[in-house]
């Protein structure tokens, strides 16, 4: 749960809030029917697109698909229970999937041949997990005391839990279902369009945001800021390892298609969800502090995949995954775009070797944790030295015209 910040795509800023739904059994059935109905429509639209492509040499427009959807809706009693407008989201998905495949096929493969005649996969019952409400009037919110409800078309009022809403206009809503083995969980992702000039600076007026920060990303410490803040690797996996082993053992002993197996599967799913949430929490923490407590950010432009190559042992891989460096990098960029902060990516070469005070080249191996400069006598943590170098590279190399008080 929480907020997902999306950077602006030239149309203003969108914030997506994920709500945990608590539907009663009848509402669950209705949501399931909407997911299933939209799955049927999806598959029929895929077939229609394929025929249209073969006969006319081009894909139908979304308008054509929506008209087809309305016809299916009218004639097919099993589809009639779904919310009419939700098919507009489905038609968009079909076209997107088809365009992606055509794009992929137009590229010659290794043999030089261009394959054709492919279509997106038909959705199986298991693969169908969500459906959407494309318009503002398709859903709404209400409150009874402390209880909050979301009104979903053809479903009704469903109680939900989630963060307070941002001060924007709700635009679209996607309802999704996650299979947890013994039961399903339901979520709604509501996207808000934020007003013009939206900035989160005003949320933290007491914090001095005039100074930019340099960030060194790594595995033993996930992030070290040039102001001295250190985020250690939380080693989530190590903490949960015993639990995982126990649950996996139980699952491997269970016989599939029994109640016991479902239960064991559910426990494993829950444990992985927990791990995922813990990692996500760390990432959000780092990104939040990096963006909202500083005036700008300089980061290494590192190929994270290359980094992974270094960590060959399984133990290191788990530490690496716990660090989720790729996620940290993307998240910082997303949050920064939302808060109107500038992110500068710098060349990471030599940032750990060069002295941040005098610029001397002090060669040291990976295991040397302290930077000790023989030229000027500077003695600081190796990662902190790198973070200061990254800051200097990013913010003196590319001066930001908006900010006059950047450090020399
Ligand atoms: Zn020095």
Tell how far the Cα of 358 is from the centroid of ligand 1, in angstroms.
Answer: 4
- Give the residue extent of every domain in the chain: 2-193, 202-397
Place of tokens 């992030």: 223
pLDDT band at 364 (very low <50, low <70, confident <90, very high): confident
Average pLDDT over the chain reads: 84
Q: Please report the pLDDT score of residue 171 as a whole number.
A: 93
The model's pTM is: 0.70
Tell how far the Cα of 354 is from the centroid of ligand 1, in angstroms.
Answer: 8
Tell how far the Cα of 350 is from the centroid of ligand 1, in angstroms.
Answer: 14
Q: Which residues in 129-168 belong to E strands, given as ranges? A: 130-133, 139-144, 147-152, 156-161
Among 8-22, 107-121, 131-145, which stretch is predicted with the lowest mean pLDDT?
Answer: 107-121
Tell how far the Cα of 403 is from the centroid of ligand 1, in angstroms.
Answer: 28
Cα separation, 207 vs 289, whole angstroms: 11
Tell how far the Cα of 349 is from the centroid of ligand 1, in angstroms.
Answer: 18
Tell how far the Cα of 371 is from the centroid of ligand 1, in angstroms.
Answer: 9
Strand partners, 19: 188
Tell how far the Cα of 364 is from the centroid of ligand 1, in angstroms.
Answer: 14
Tell how far the Cα of 325 is from the centroid of ligand 1, in angstroms.
Answer: 29
3-class SS string, 38-60: HHHHHHHHHHHHHHHHHHHCCCC
Residues constituting the chain: 408
Cα separation, 93 vs 383, whole angstroms: 45
pLDDT band at 112 (very low <50, low <70, confident <90, very high): very low
Q: Rounded to the nearest 10 degrees, what angle do helices 314-323 and 259-292 cross at? A: 60
Which are the contacts of 78, defined by CB distance < 8 A and separation ≥ 6? 37, 40
Tell how far the Cα of 348 is from the centroid of ligand 1, in angstroms.
Answer: 19
Q: Assign 205 to helix, strand or coil.
A: coil
pLDDT band at 103 (very low <50, low <70, confident <90, very high): confident
Q: Give the H or E element holding residue 216.
A: strand 212-217
Percent of the chain with pLDDT over 90: 46
């Amino acid at each position: 749960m929480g907020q997902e910040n999306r950077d602006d795509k030239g149309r203003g800023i969108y914030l997506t809030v994920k709500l945990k739904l608590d539907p009663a059994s009848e509402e669950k059935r209705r949501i399931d029917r909407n997911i299933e109905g939209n799955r049927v429509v999806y598959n029929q639209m895929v077939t229609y697109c394929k025929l249209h492509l073969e006969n006319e040499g081009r894909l139908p427009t979304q308008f054509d698909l929506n008209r087809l959807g309305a016809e299916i809706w009218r004639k097919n009693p099993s589809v009639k229970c779904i919310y009419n407008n939700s098919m507009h989201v489905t038609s968009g998905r079909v076209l997107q999937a088809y365009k992606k495949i055509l794009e992929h096929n137009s590229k010659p493969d290794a043999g030089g041949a261009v394959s054709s005649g492919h279509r997106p996969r038909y959705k199986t019952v298991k693969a169908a997990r969500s459906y959407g409400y494309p318009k503002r009037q398709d859903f709404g919110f209400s409150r009874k005391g402390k209880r909050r409800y979301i009104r979903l078309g053809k479903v009704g009022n469903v109680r939900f839990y989630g963060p307070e809403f941002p001060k924007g206009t709700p635009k679209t809503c996607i309802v999704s279902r996650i299979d947890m083995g013994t039961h399903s969980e339901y979520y709604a992702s509501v996207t808000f369009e934020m007003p013009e000039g939206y900035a989160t600076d005003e949320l933290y007026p007491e914090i001095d945001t005039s100074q930019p920060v340099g960030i060194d990303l790594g595995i033993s410490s996930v992030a070290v800021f040039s102001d001295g803040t250190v985020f250690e690797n939380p080693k989530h996996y190590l903490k949960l390892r015993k639990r995982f082993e126990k649950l996996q053992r139980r699952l491997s002993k269970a016989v599939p298609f029994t109640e016991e197996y479902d239960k064991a599967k559910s426990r494993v799913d829950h444990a992985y969800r927990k791990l995922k949430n813990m990692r996500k929490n760390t990432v959000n923490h780092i990104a939040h502090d990096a963006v909202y407590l500083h005036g700008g950010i300089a980061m290494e432009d590192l190929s994270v995949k290359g980094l992974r190559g270094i960590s060959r042992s399984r133990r290191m891989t788990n530490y690496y995954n716990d660090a989720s460096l790729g996620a940290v990098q993307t998240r910082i960029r997303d949050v920064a775009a939302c808060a109107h902060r500038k992110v500068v990516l710098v060349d990471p070469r030599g940032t750990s070797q060069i002295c941040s005070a005098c610029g001397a080249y002090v060669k040291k191996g990976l295991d040397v944790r302290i930077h000790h400069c023989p030229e000027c006598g500077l003695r600081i943590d190796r990662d902190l030295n790198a973070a200061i170098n990254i800051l200097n590279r990013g913010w003196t190399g590319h001066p930001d015209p908006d900010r006059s008080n950047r450090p020399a």
